[in-house]
Structure 1
């Protein structure tokens, strides 16, 4: 299947492959692979139905991750209007940023972190489960700051009807301070 047949944008596929190379380099050094969260995870799990401009990453080894990113050509943006916390790869124009050491304040069940290979190869990387991602979207929706996240949660659940509903219910309740559950996105 080609990238265009998969639903993913070519630059997103290239970014996933590059992230997988960084992940493999971290693994080769004896460190845990970083975990993809946020918008890029939403784009991955939605097969491109949700688009993002950045890759949010969790790792306990940020200096080592950044060393590996530099080895693969990532640079810190500079100049007016540039994001100063993250990295970009000049060929991709997608931002990469370490947002935390662990996903979702450590509330993610480690058994629900997935190890995946991007289309076209390039190694393996870790990503939060679709259930945790849906819960994250519902937590953002519950905050009142991101009303569009309810739609993203619905798209994600619609694409993954085989989701672990008991785990999803628990995680949505945790992320939304008990205000929402699975029934709110069906």
Structure 2
């Protein structure tokens, strides 16, 4: 039994099947990033309404979305760049070729091989995800991202702090480091 809400679990299972289909077709697995990765790493503590993915094979990936029952919403008030599965109400969108504009190397992409009975799927590392949240926080446009970064680090105390330092510095233009993510309750 997973700690996740049922629709998120179902969406991850579909995502895993899409990943397997992409590999069967000779492509790399799409990589889960953004809010859905936060929900995964926070074990459902922080929830999302969308799955952001990175893949250099967007057209093939979108064809797989269609094969797996996804539709692109249309009509007044339904403009979206993504795809929605009618049974789940969660959107999927390709947001780039590689996570964080290519600053993440393949060795820092995690492969989740033990999610229920699903095929393996790829996900951004928790350190890179924390760095992404800190980059958004540092931009001044998403101040709530500091709390997400802190929650993720609190839930993953085994994070590689040297790598986290490097990534947070990079994503924030040097304004913040790993020390700034630590949630100090004075």
User: Normalising to structure 2: TM-score of the pair?
Assistant: 0.95
- List alignment gaps of at least 5 residues for structure 1: none
CA RMSD of aligned residues (A): 1.0
Measured against aligned partners, the alpha-carbon deviations of 1:7-50 in whole angstroms (never above 9, x if no partner) come to x1110000000000100000001100000000000000110111
What pairs up with 1:79-158 in 2 under 5 angstroms?
A: 79-117=75-113, 119-158=115-154
Shift of 1:118: 6.1
- Asked if 1:68 corresponds to 2:59, the answer is no
Matched with 1:24 is: 20
CA distance in 1, matches of 2:86, 2:117: 21
Deviation readout 1:105-135 (Å, 9 max, x if unpaired): 1111221100113632221110000000000
The answer (yes or no) to whether the contact 1:23–1:124 under 8 Å persists in 2 is yes
Asked whether 1:169 is paired with 2:165, we answer yes
- Separation (CA, whole Å) in 1 of partners of 2:19 and 2:153: 27
Choose which of 5, 11, 16 in structure 1 pairs with 2:7: 11
Distance in 1 (CA, whole Å) between partners of 2:152 and 2:89 is 25
Structure 2: unaligned runs, 5 residues or longer: none
Secondary structure of the residue aligned to 1:114 is strand
CA distance in 2, matches of 1:112, 1:85: 27
TM-score, normalised to structure 1, is 0.95
Give the SS at the match of 1:16.
Answer: helix
TM-superposed deviation, 1:51: 0.7
Aligned to 2:40: 44
Q: Give the match's secondary structure for 1:97.
A: strand
SS of match in other structure, 1:36: strand
Q: Name the CA distance, whole Å, in 2 between partners of 1:105 and 1:96.
A: 19
1:123-151 Cα distance to aligned partner (Å, 9 max, x none): 11100000000000000000000010000
